[in-house]
């Protein structure tokens, strides 16, 4: 049976891509009309999508459960903050710092991975969880004897992202449109995100991606096929960590202020939830999961309170409480009806429906 629409499949696909692109380009202006706060929310959402894509390499592709992912985000953020703030009076250009942040985070990834990759499943999760906490506690306490991180006070007045004299913090007018700081950041983050998606997709469909799949499916067989499983798992950790490092650097640049409080366990759990909700191993699923979990809570924050006021005349339940309630409900519903995520990869879906296999 022939489809009735006038466009061929390929044409329809390109029209779809074009529409999404136009929507994404126009989005910040639409959001700005509702308030600059919404543009900032969108920026944070993109940052979280970016983070989720990094974690997806570790959890989704290589199948290693990492509960301390926020540590790499923290390392990237502090790398940026220390190299571009009055704290050490260093002001390196951001395009130099971001790669440094990625590299340092990558190094931390290897540092965590090398001793722990003999562990599997729950055990690996526990060690990574500990690692995340250790990094945060270090950041909290490295203010003496030598003040490196400035402790719980955090680091403030971090340089905004800039390319030469072009700062992403200033409002500018061009083509009759007002480009506020957050809107400029939005486009920068969108470009970075696009890059992240391309890297994710290309890695997945490569020799390396297949090796990750093999390790996830059956480590013994993978080794017998000549895959150096330790190295390939370390590579996943390092790649994921670099993504975290870049995201952290951008976070520091946008916020202008960071402290250890921004890098608590809940953040790791949040990013992991985004990956799991969307569908581990499927890039588009992860993007969807991250967008939903970033935006929906904010939407609730702005709707629940007025709704209660108009219904009961006063606020009965705190929006924060309702947020967490609904969040829990969503997770339960998901476990019941879509255990493999909203948009799972075909392979991952089959894995989740199959009983675990025993060790050699």
Partner 1 sequence: MSAVLLGCTGLDKRFGGVLALAEVGFSINRGEIYGLIGPNGAGKTTLFNALTGIYASDAGGFSFAGEALAGLRPDQIAARGIARTFQNIRLFGNLSALDNVMIGRHVRTRAGVFGAVLRTRAMRIEEAAIEKRARELLEYVGIAARANDVARQLPYGDQRRLEIARALATEPKLLALDEPAAGMNATETLELKKLLQRVRADGTTILLIEHDMKLVMELCDRVLVLDYGRRIAEGPPREVQRDARVIEAYLGVAGAA
- If binding is defined by CB under 8 A, does position 356 make contact with partner 1? no
Told to check if 223 binds partner 1 by CB under 8 A, we report yes
CB-based burial label for 93 (10 Å; 0-12, 13-18, 19+): middle
127 forms part of the interface with partner 1 (CB under 8 A) = no
Q: Which of 219/305 has CB closer to partner 1? A: 219
Cis preceding-peptide flag for 145 (omega within 30 of 0)? yes
Nearer to partner 1, 144 or 354 (CB): 354
Q: By C-beta, is 179 or 212 nearer to partner 1?
A: 212
Q: Binding to partner 1 by residue 118, rule CB under 8 A?
A: no
∠ CA 64-195-216, rounded to 5° = 20
Which residues touch 8 (CB under 8 Å, ≥6 apart)? none
Question: Least distance from C-beta 347 to partner 1, angstroms?
Answer: 5
- The angle that helices 229-255 and 94-116 make with each other, rounded to 10 degrees, is 140
Would you count residue 227 as binding partner 1 (CB under 8 A)? yes
Closest to partner 1 by CB, 17 vs 224, is 224
- H/E element holding 345? none
Give the C-alpha distances (Å, rounded to integers) separating 42 from 45, 55, 186, 194, 330: 5, 20, 8, 15, 21
Residue 255's contacts (CB-CB under 8 Å, 6 or more residues apart) are 158, 262
Nearest one of 166, 158, 329, 175 to 253, comparing CA atoms: 158
Q: Could you tell me the smallest distance in angstroms from the CB atom of residue 163 to partner 1?
A: 23
Whether the CB-CB separation of 230 and 117 falls below 8 Å is answered with yes
Min CB(285)–partner 1 separation in Å: 16
* C-alpha span between 190 and 193 (Å, rounded): 5
Per CB under 8 A, which of residues 331..350 are in contact with partner 1? 347-348, 350
x/- letters, 193..222, toward partner 1 (CB under 8 A) = -----xx--xx--xxxxxx-xx--xx-xxx
For residue 228, state whether it binds partner 1 (rule: CB under 8 A): yes
Distance between CA 350 and CA 346 in Å, rounded? 6
- Please say which residue, 243 or 251, places its beta carbon nearer to partner 1: 243
Residue 133 or 351 with smaller CB distance to partner 1: 351
Burial of residue 237 (number of CB atoms within 10 Å: 0-12, 13-18, 19+):
buried
CB of 187 to partner 1, least distance (A): 22
In angstroms, give the least distance from the CB of 337 to partner 1.
21
Nearest to 330 by CA among 304, 300, 352: 300
Q: Which of 225, 316, 317, 331 binds partner 1 (CB under 8 A)?
A: 225
Query: Least CB distance from residue 109 to partner 1, whole Å?
Result: 13
In the shown chain, the binding pattern of residues 288 to 327 toward partner 1, with x for contact by CB under 8 A and - for none, equals ----------------------------------------
Q: Supply angle C-alpha 139, 81, 60, rounded to 5.
A: 70
How many Å apart are CA 232 and CA 207, to the nearest integer?
Answer: 11
Contact status: 98 vs partner 1 (CB under 8 A): no
Q: How many chain residues interact with partner 1 (CB under 8 A)? A: 32
Rounded least distance, CB 243 to partner 1, Å: 12
Is residue 70 a contact partner of residue 54, using CB atoms and an 8 Å limit? no
**141 is a site residue for partner 1 (CB under 8 A):** no
Shortest distance, position 175 Cβ to partner 1, whole Å: 34
Under rule CB under 8 A, which residues in 179-198 are in contact with partner 1?
A: 198
Q: Report the nearest approach of partner 1 to the CB of residue 104 (Å).
A: 18
Q: Look at residue 200 and give its three-state secondary structure.
A: helix
CA 154-182-243 angle, to 5 degrees, is 60
Q: By the criterion CB under 8 A, which residues form the site for partner 1?
A: 198-199, 202-203, 206-211, 213-214, 217-218, 220-229, 235, 239, 347-348, 350-351, 354, 360
């Amino acid at each position: 049976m022939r489809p009735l629409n006038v466009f061929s499949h390929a044409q329809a696909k390109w029209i779809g891509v074009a529409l999404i692109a136009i929507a994404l380009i126009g989005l910040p202006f639409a959001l700005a009309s509702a308030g600059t706060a919404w543009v900032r929310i969108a920026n944070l959402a993109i940052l979280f999508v970016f983070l989720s894509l990094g974690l997806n390499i570790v959890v989704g592709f290589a199948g290693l459960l990492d509960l301390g992912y926020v540590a790499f985000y923290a390392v990237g953020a502090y790398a940026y903050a220390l190299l571009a703030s009055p704290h050490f009076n260093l002001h390196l250009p951001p395009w130099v710092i971001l790669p440094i942040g990625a590299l340092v985070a990558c190094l931390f990834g290897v540092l965590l991975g090398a001793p722990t990759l003999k562990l599997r499943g729950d055990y690996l999760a526990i060690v990574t969880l500990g690692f995340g906490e250790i990094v945060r506690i270090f950041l909290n306490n490295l203010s003496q004897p030598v003040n490196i991180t400035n402790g719980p006070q955090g680091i403030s007045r971090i340089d905004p992202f800039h390319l030469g004299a072009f700062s992403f913090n200033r409002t500018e007018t061009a083509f009759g449109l007002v480009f506020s700081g957050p809107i400029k950041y939005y486009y920068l983050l969108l470009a970075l995100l696009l890059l992240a998606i391309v890297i994710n997709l290309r890695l997945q469909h490569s020799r390396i991606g297949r090796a990750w799949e093999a390790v996830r499916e059956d480590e013994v067989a993978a080794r017998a096929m000549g895959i150096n499983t330790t190295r390939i798992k370390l590579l996943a950790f390092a790649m994921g960590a670099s993504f975290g490092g870049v995201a952290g650097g951008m976070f520091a640049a946008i916020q202008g202020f960071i402290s250890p409080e921004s890098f608590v366990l809940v953040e790791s759990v949040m990013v992991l939830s985004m990956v799991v909700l969307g569908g581990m191993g499927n890039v588009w699923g992860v993007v969807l999961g991250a967008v939903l979990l970033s935006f929906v809570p904010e939407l609730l924050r702005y709707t629940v309170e007025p709704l209660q006021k108009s219904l009961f005349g006063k606020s009965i339940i705190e929006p924060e409480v309702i947020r967490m309630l609904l969040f829990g409900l969503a997770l339960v519903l998901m476990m019941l009806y879509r255990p493999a995520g909203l948009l799972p990869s075909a392979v991952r879906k089959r894995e989740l429906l199959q009983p675990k296999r025993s060790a050699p």
